[in-house]
Amino acid sequence: MAVREAHDVDPTLVLLTVEEAARRLRIGRTTCFKLVSSGEIESVTVGRLRRVPADAVPAYVARLRRPALAA
């Protein structure tokens, strides 16, 4: 059985920590927290925890790409 690396993506995860979302986006943790705080990346509260829906990461990237596609 292969050892999982920290950068491996688990496709079964529905909710990600902000740190996991940052790793998927290859950005810093602080930058990702700012994007979550500003609402640029969708997030939800589960109890006292802040989580990012897994599909919010590609949705954010798609929004970033729209101006480039329109040009």
User: CA-to-CA distance for 59 and 57, rounded, in angstroms?
Assistant: 5
Q: Which residue has 């950068």 as its token pair? A: 7
pLDDT value at residue 4: 53
Split at pLDDT 50, 70, 90, the class of 66 is confident
State how far the Cα of 53 lies from the Cα of 17, in Å rounded to an integer: 9
51-62 pLDDT, tens digit per residue, is 999 999 999 999
Q: What pTM does this model have?
A: 0.80
> Is 49's pLDDT higher than 70?
yes
Residue 9 is classified by DSSP as -
Measured between alpha carbons, how far apart are the two ends of the chain, in Å?
47
Per-residue model confidence as pLDDT tens digits over 11-41: 889 999 999 999 999 999 999 999 999 999 9
Q: Where are the alpha helices (DSSP H) in the chain?
A: 18-25, 29-38, 56-70
Residue 71: pLDDT over 80: no
